Structure formats: C-alpha cells, structure tokens
Chain A
Amino acid sequence: MDKVFTSGNHCIAEAAIRAGCRCYFGYPITPQNELGEYMAANMRKVGGVFLQSESETAAINMVIGAASVGTRVLTSSSSPGVSLKQEGLSFLSGFEFPAVVVNMMRGGPGLGNIAPAQGDYFQATRGGGHGDYRTPVLAPASVQELADLTVKAFDLADKYRTPILLLGDGMMGQMKEPVVFPEPITGLPEKPWALKGRGDGASRYHASLILDSLEMERHNWKLVRKYREMAEKETLYELYMMEDADFVVVAYGTTARIAKGAIKRARKDGLKVGMVRPITLFPFPDKILQKVARQVKHFLVFEMSTGQMVEDVKMALDGLQTELSFHGRPGGVIPTPIEFSRVIHRYYRRMQK
C-alpha cells in the first residue's frame, strides 16, 4: 500500500470507511469539519450513509439507531458538540451498543475557541454523561496512528459492545502527515444481538430502562467487569527513551509530540529524560507508571489543560515514593518544545538537589 499525504480529519474518515463503517452522522463544528466533508464526498460511493443532522444530539441518536441494527457507525465533533452527545453516550453504554465517537478538542469552557486543547479529558474518561459507566478512550499522536486507532476503535467497539471515544484535538485534525492506510476489511464480526426484524425467530428488544434496582446493579457491575477486562487486555502506551531515564514525562496526543521535541533537546544537554505516552486514556496505563516509578525519581505531567490526566497519574502512583509535578497550557495555547524543554530543565535541576 502506498503512502499518502493527508490531514488527520480526512485520515479518520478514510480509515473508518476501510474499517467497514457504513454510516456517518454529524453536525458541523470547527476544527473537525473536514471529517464530515470527506464522508459527504466518499461515503455514498461505497453504498454507505452520510447524513448532516440537525444537531449533535440528533446525530448521536441516529448513531444509536444505526448501531442497534448492527452497522458500523461513526460520528465526530468538537468539544461543545461532544457535550451534546453525552446523552447518547450514556444510552449507548447502557444498551451496550458499539459506536465510534471522535472528539477533536478545542479550547473551552463554553464556545471557548477553535484552537487545540485537552480540556475534555475528564469528560472523555469519566463517562461524561449520567449514570455509572465509562467510555474507553483512544488518544492518537500522529496521522498514521489516527488511521490505525480508528480501525482499532471499531474492532474494540464491536468486541466489547461499547462506544469508543477517539480523542484528538484541533492540531491532530488539521495537521498533514504521510500515512499508509490499512487494507479495507473484508468481513464484519457477527452481531447476534442486533435488531434485524424478528423474521421467523423470537422478537427482541433493547432497553436501558431497568426498573428493578438489583438488576440495574447487576448491569452496572457487568459494565465494570467489561472495563476491567479491557484494562487487562487492551491498555496501550508508548515508552520513549525510557531505557536509562531517571526522569519521566507523561503526556498524550499533541502534547506528547511536543514533549518528544523537548526531550530530544534535554537529552542533548545530558538529561536522562524519557516519556510514557498513554494511548488508551481509559483504561489508563497505571501499571506501567507503577513500574516506571521504580526506575525514575520524578514524574512531570504535561497537558494542554489546567491539569486533568495528572489526577490519573496521581492515582496510579498512590503510595509510591516519587515526586510529581505538572505543567499545563490550557485555552488553546500550543506550547513549543523549547518552552517545555526549559520546564524539564527546571524540574530536573530540582530533582538533582
């Protein structure tokens, strides 16, 4: 397969089509409009459905409809729109329907701005809607990874019967890089639970309403078991320059890219810095952080927010003897590798004292 030069938003759309996604529902919002536009241009060519909905709320409910009949389905948006999708995410989780939801985050709260930010981490990883559920979250850091993780998101969604969030930001969506697309899939997994009309068999229904509280409790714990299984089998992370590191940066997505530049600089100055880059944000790769804690003295969490993932790092390191600090640039500010390498220097010097 040839390399093509493409933007993150186009890349997700193309990868989704190759992953067998045949329905896309969405409402325009910057900085992810190119995704829907690519779907508008290409989905119908493969016999699929593109529909520009009247709102993100409508879009996510159309997703529920398409998912319920067994179709691979995608919706995408950015922060304010993803807030409107929370109702549907809660229902998808309750129904245990597979779907992929993209959030190309922007500055907030409110309308905020259209610059890249990572302020929706809590919303994404905690289960941003009502009720006792979580959404698995994949956080790519390159256009190639957007392609690979889009395909993976559909597979995980089907395997675990859960909505999966693909969490990027304006930078991920807009930047162009060379990418090798996976070959289109040839078959879809069986979905015996999907509603296809009863035919000659028994009728079925899907309801999130569970009036019996003991039964509701059982359903809640069932979801938890599913998340635990995912934590065991599906947790993903990247280790960067960790062999001899005594100081580690924890960053995901765009900030991890910036951190790599900063770490290279710091390495030139002789600092033994490495990075753990969580790729799944939920399940969070806490085991590797605990392992790394035996090797390094200092953790520096770097986010384009006021500090959200840092709480997961804190929880992962609970009870362990290490130092933890945080550097954040919220609001759509894109920090530079130089800026961040200075931050690394500062904390590194402190650690050595």
Chain B
Amino acid sequence: MSNNSSILGEAGKKTLMMGNEAIARGAIEAGIKVATAYPGTPSTEIVETLAEVAKNLGIHVEWAVNEKVALEIALGAAFSGVRALVAMKAPGLNVAMDALMSATYSGVNGGLVIVVADDPGPHTTQTEQDNRFMSKITLLPMLEPSDPQEAKDIVKEAFKISEKLQLPVIVRTTTRVNHTSADVILGEIEVVKKEPWFYKEPMRYIRASMAWNLTRHKWLNQQMEKAKEIMENLPFNKLEMKGDEKVGVIVSGVPYNYLKEVIKKYVVKKVAVLKISAINPLPEKLIKKLLSKVDKVLVLEELEPYLEFHVKSLISEIGRNIEVLGKFNGITPREGEFSPEVVRSALEKLLNIKLGKRFRDMREKVLEEIKSILPRRAPPMCPGCPHRATYIALKKAIKRLGLKLEEVSVFGDIGCYALSLQPPLEAIWTEHCMGASIGMAAGLYFAGSRQKAVATIGDSTFFHMGIQPLIDAVQHNANITVIVLDNGTIAMTGHQPHPGSGEIATGEKVKPILIEDIAKAIGVKFVKVVDPYDLKETTDVLVEALKFEGVSVVVARRLCAILAVRRKLTGPPCYVDPDTCTGCRTCILQLGCPSLVWEGEKTVIDTDTCTGCGVCIQVCPYNAIKMEKEE
C-alpha cells in the first residue's frame, strides 16, 4: 500500500502499512544485504516491496527459481556475515526443507530470518499446513507476530536473535497478519558495516563426516538451551494478570486481536491473559506463572493444538488440576480461520456467561434465503486469458483424434491455468503441488494405462520444479505430452518475472531462458512453440504431439492478458453482430470468457473488459463475432 518514500520513511513516523510491507521495513531497519523469495500468497508483497527499493538501498533482492534456491542464496549470504531474509508461503517451506535441515547444523554468521506465511482459511493455499510444528522438526527458534506493528518489530528482533544464537530464525505469520494493513510506527534503520567474508570451517559447513554431524547436533541443542532464556524474556510475550483471576487465556497470533476487542467491548474482567510470540522454545516459566494461579484455561490458536499440547504437559508438570478448553474438547475448531465470533463464544464457555445479544431468528432466516439465491463468484480466467485458448485447443485435438475426453487424462499444475477446473472448461484432472503434473503423467503411462497422458504446466511452475521430472520422463521414454502454458510471467501471484520473462525483480532486462531450448537440451524429440490465440494451428500441433510416441513438448506462448492490457498491447474489443447471432450460445458454452455476457436471447460482448483476443471469433459457428477495425 505504500510507495517508496513511506517504506523508507523516518523513524517515529506513523504510516499505513500492510503486514508484508511492515515485514519488509523490519528487514530494512535490520540492515539486510540480501532478500530472496519465490512468490506465494500471502507472502509475496514482502520481497515485492523490497525489490522496489533495492537500488536505493544497494541490496540484492530477487525472485528465485524456487524456495529451496531462495533459501540457499540467503544462506550463502548469511555465511559471509551479512544479514539476509527469505520469504515463502506455507508449502514453500516443504520445498526448502532439505536445505533448512542442514542449515541447523552449520548455523549462520550474519542474521538469517525465514518468513513463512501460513494460511488458515485457507484463502489461497493447497493445505492448511501448520508450520509451527516445523520448529520442532528443525529445532530452530520461531516467533509469531499478531499484527503488522509486531511483524515489523519481531522481524527486526529476529535478526538479533539469529546472530546471538548463530541460527536461522523462523518468523511464522498467518494471512491476517500479512494482508492486514494498520498504522505502523517506523523504527531506526540500522547501518550495518560489515565486509562479507566466508571463513573456512569444515566441521560447520560439511555434512559428510558423521562425527562432525553428531558434534553439531549437540551444538544445536546447546544453542536452543540458550534460546530458552531469550524467549522467556522476549518483550512480545505479554502476561496481563493481577493474581486473583481464577480463569485465564493463553493465545498466540491473530486471535489475540479478537480477544482484546471482545474483552474491551463486553468489559470482561478477572481473566488473566498470556499472549505468546515465542513459538519455539515456548516461554515455559511464563506459562507456568499463569497456570499456577488459574483453575481453568482457554487456549486460543488457529489450526492445530500446538500450544495446547504444551500447556497440557506443563500442567502435568506442576501437578495442579486445571481444566483446559481448546481443540481437544471441541471448544475451538481445528480447521479454517478464527473470527471475532469464534473467540467470543469460546470466551463465553470459559466464563460461563453470555456476552452481548444474539441475533434474532428473523435475521437467520434472511441470511439463509440470501445464501440460497446468491450465485457464486469464483475468480474466472480473465477475458483474453491465453490459457483458456490452450485448453480449448486441447479439447478440440482430443476430439479430432476420435477420442473421448475421459480417454485422455489431463494432469494439471499450480497457477492461473488451474482455474480451468471451472465450467465450462473443466479441463484439469489434478492440481497437486508445484511441478507434479509431469511426473504423474509419466506414472500413469508406466502403470500401463491405455489412457493418453497429458501434463499441463505453467512456465514458472516448469522452472520451479518441472525440469527434473521432464528429464526423468525422457530418460525412461514415457509416452506423454507436456504442454507448457507460457504467459511470460508468474501470473497467479501478481505478475512477478521468472527466468523466461527477460526481466528480474528490480526491473533490469536480462536474456530470457527459453523453455523450448531446455526441452531440446534434455533430448525431447518433439518440441514445438504455438500461439494459443491461433486455435487452428494450436489444435493441429497438439494433434501431432498426442500422436507422437515418446515425450512431446508443446510450448503455448502468449503474454498474460492482464500484462498485455497494462502494456497497452491489446487491440480494440470484439463485438457481436446481433443480426447474425442466432443465440446458440456456443461462444459462452465453450469459452466462458467473462466478457461474453448472455442477455437472454443473444450474446453481448462487454467492451469494458474484452481484450480483443479474437478467440471467440474462431468458435462462433455463424461468424457473428467481429473484430472492431482499429482507427
């Protein structure tokens, strides 16, 4: 939400910032030298914000090819003594995990902060993975903010902790921190003057000696002993307790905001509250302080009962009989995100009273009726999206080969093209994890199925994790067709550049790496590039590719329509000649382009949104759709 000047604003200034911008500012205040990420909602704006000011600050900011590479680059920088930040969405940590595990034994010299953005809801993520448990697997320190101000301050603090302990520190956020905007007070920007230098220390950086690994494992555990002290005194943990309360709440992350608001609004008294930002190691003394006073405790945390597990074990340690309200007795849900309502009703159960009025029946009835008549509005592919045309051509090719749609398995992947799951396309059969389509298609072939196997994968997804499975498929001579939907950008996450875009995060132009060159270098015998807007050519080539024995690769290349509009590369909109349109609705039923509007008897094109891609012209059986002449 901010522009350059506000992200670099003076200390003490109050600025409206999105959580991700606040995180970026925290990293700037900590004097980072390197920031990397692979985009993923809700983490993307962190590196996006840093990229905008990278030149001013003289730091390296980049979109890496995937999360593992992003982490490795940040690690290399942190080995040399400078501070580095890496950001990713929740499943990104799975991709980076291998690199991270070894980093726990080597440790770092300059501070290394890993921001992982979980997504209770989920709003835009394949699973509701709760990455707090990753701190137990990696044994690394983990912190969690509850709002944008804390996000900034905690990131800054995390760099100090990282250097004190010589360990990477994970800052775990959730969507409602990353994407919430709030007034944030800026802090001082530290000027870090450090000559980066990597000192050779084999025992730290080489994992080939088992004796060294054992030594480093012990070292890691020692460091985490020291971490306990730091976490116990972390200023972001807050215990609000007078000492005479009989009930208490232990809370972390976003629900703390709901709790504070409910307490204030309903003037709730005599409840001790412990807000925890130290996720690993937990501040056990602080928790015990609360547990030593109360008889009943509510644990408020989204997703899994991470805190609740620990609270229960601490209760058995101190040997008091305390009732715990949380996930195990169904007081709060394990799935989805919390809301003020969830927190209010949990608090009511803790206190055994009603807080505020409840809605009347009439209201519930109206809401039911609304629900029953409200059409859904899932995000469609944009007007003029090239992916739509590619899937139409694929369907036509399948039909031309005399096959039924059920006889060709279309493996999907992650990106805008996965929106093809919706009617009328209903094209993809799977959407699993980055790059999975190619391996799965090969797997179906190796299983001996008579079905044809097609993998459809986006350009960035191909660079992220699609090249290795393609190598595998070629090596084992799988009979599959791989369609790479090359729209020149990472569209789904907001149009970041990738290695094929000819551009990097900071805007400089570089030589694009072409997907067809990679395919040929791997040894694919059938490699063709098509323009999906040309339905006939694309269909012809796909027919050939499907007939080809072995791995065939078709690159469907056409710029993302949003970028084409932004760069003013689109032509005038198309229009339907009402005298020729018979009202057969073929255009809408085949394409489902949002600009094709059904007006009861005929189709009308919404000229505000139509990009003039001309694909509907090619499917209209009566030539009723025309392209406006450019003046």
B is a partner of A? no
